Amino acid sequence: MAVHLLVTTTTPDRAAGAKIAGSAVSARLAATAQVTGPVASFFWHLGEQGEGEEWNVTFKTTDARYAELEAHIVEQHPWDKPEVTAVELVRGSADYLRWLEEATSSDA
Q: Which domains does the chain have, with CATH numbers?
A: 4-103 (3.30.70.120)
Q: Which amino acid is at 1?
A: M
Non-local CB neighbours of 98 within 8 Å, separated by 6+ positions: none
pLDDT interval class at 107 (50, 70, 90): confident
Residue 56 contacts residue 30 (beta carbons within 8 Å): no
**pLDDT band at residue 7 using 50, 70 and 90 as cut-offs:** very high
pTM for the full model?
0.94
Taking residues 56-84, report their average pLDDT.
97
State residue 89 phi and psi, 5-degree precision: -80, 120
| pLDDT over 90 (residue 108) | no
